[in-house]
Amino acid sequence: MKLNNHSLSFRWINCQCFEFKLPNGKTIITDPCYDYPENPEDRIADIFRLRGFHTEDLEACDYVILNHTHSDHMVNLEDVIRRFQPIVICHSGVAAQIAEVYGDILPLTSIYAVDYNGRYEFDGFVLHTYHGMHKPQRMMWDGCMSKADGISQQEKLKRLHTLGSLFNMNFIIDLDNGFRMAFVGGLDDGMAHILEDKRPNIAFRNKLTNGMDVDVVSDDWVSFMTEAHAQIVVPMHFEVWENMDPGFSEKTFIEANRKAEEKGLTARVAPVKRTEWYEITLSMQSR
């Protein structure tokens, strides 16, 4: 006898952009950012890019969820809206600005504004929201509003990009089948307590350092594996490592898993490859 029950399919596309396929067939895309125009004046923009991936390569999108609205989290939102007309779930602090920027393509009722510590019901999942914090940056309001950011190079996204430093939303999603996933986009900000209580099956987490020392970075992952109380940890936003030193992240995650095993942790980091699909299935079979 062998029984398979599909829990979740997903692929990491770039930055914090994922495509999630739920058991009921609905699809969620997070933080859409992959390819965008060259910017000869800002080479930093290059380290976030996934060349050659286009909106046509996405398979479906019923919902977009935004962790925050810096350009490396929403530069391709317009393309996704045009192609799929999704519901855009975002913090209420940025909802009006999203309505204004995409006013000609996004119906107001397709914007689903949420607040922190909320519980929201959708087709196929329940969303729980939590306050998130961006890692510290030297960005000030005036400087940020004075010109378009180097990634989008679009004047109209300036205010959303600025608000991205103010509103940051972590979340937990409960699927209809009981499978639980956590999405942690920034500093701990109390998430350790929430994760200890909620114990997700899988936790997606932004890398917190741009450092390139295998020992230091693998320690950082081991500490998150300890606090995540998840079976699987999926790193995100590590395209910077992939673009600057291909192979560094894989080495680091293998080392993190070695340390985790040594410490007796049950969690493991999944060294995911960009655009590759992964499937999580609960299976049962006779021995």
Taking the least distance from each CB to Fe ion, the nearer of 15 and 106 is 15
**Shortest Å, Cβ 133 to Fe ion:** 11
Write out the chain in H/E/C secondary structure: CEEEEEEEEEEEEECCEEEEECCCCCEEEECCCCCCCCCCCCHHHHHHCCCCCCHHHCCCCCEEECCCCCHHHCCCHHHHHHHHCCEEEEEHHHHHHHHHHCCCCCCHHHEEEECCCCEEEECCEEEEEEECCCCCCCCCHHHHHHCCCCCCCCHHHHHHHHHCCCCCEEEEEEECCCCEEEEECCCCCCHHHHHHHHCCCEEEEECCCCCCCHHHHHHHHHHHHHHHCCCEEEEECCHHHHHHCCCHHHHHHHHHHHHHHHHCCCCEECCCCCCCCEEEEEEEECC
Q: Among 50-58, 68-76, 171-179, 210-218, which window interacts with Fe ion (CB under 5 A)? A: 68-76
The residues pairing with 180 across neighbouring beta strands, listed in sequence order, are 174
Using the CB atoms, write b or e for 143-155: b if 16+ within 10 Å: ebeeeebbbbbbe
Could you tell me the smallest distance in angstroms from the CB atom of residue 67 to Fe ion? 8
User: Is residue 26 a contact point for Fe ion (CB under 5 A)?
Assistant: no
Q: Residue 167 CB, nearest distance to Fe ion (Å)?
A: 11
Comparison of 7 and 67: residue with beta carbon closer to Fe ion: 67
Number of residues that bind Fe ion (CB under 5 A): 1
Question: Which of 71/218 has CB closer to Fe ion?
Answer: 71
Q: What are phi and psi of 111, to 5 degrees?
A: -100, 125
Q: How many residues does the chain have?
A: 287
From the list 9-17, 40-48, 62-70, 124-132, the region that binds Fe ion by CB under 5 A is 62-70
Stretch that binds Fe ion, among 33-41, 66-74, 108-116, 122-130 (CB under 5 A): 66-74
- Using the rule CB under 5 A, which residue among 21, 26, 70, 158 binds Fe ion? 70
Least distance to Fe ion, CB of residue 131, Å? 15
Smallest gap from Cβ 154 to Fe ion, in A, equals 16
> At its nearest, how many Å lie between Fe ion and the CB of residue 231?
28
- In the complex with Fe ion, which residue's Cβ is closer, 70 or 207? 70
Comparison of 125 and 130: residue with beta carbon closer to Fe ion? 130
Q: Which stretch binds Fe ion (CB under 5 A): 23-31, 64-72, 169-177, 211-219?
A: 64-72
Which one of 30-38, 70-78, 92-100, 113-121 is the stretch in contact with Fe ion (CB under 5 A)?
70-78
Question: Cβ closer to Fe ion: 70 or 128?
Answer: 70
Q: Which residue ranges make up the site for Fe ion (CB under 5 A)?
A: 70
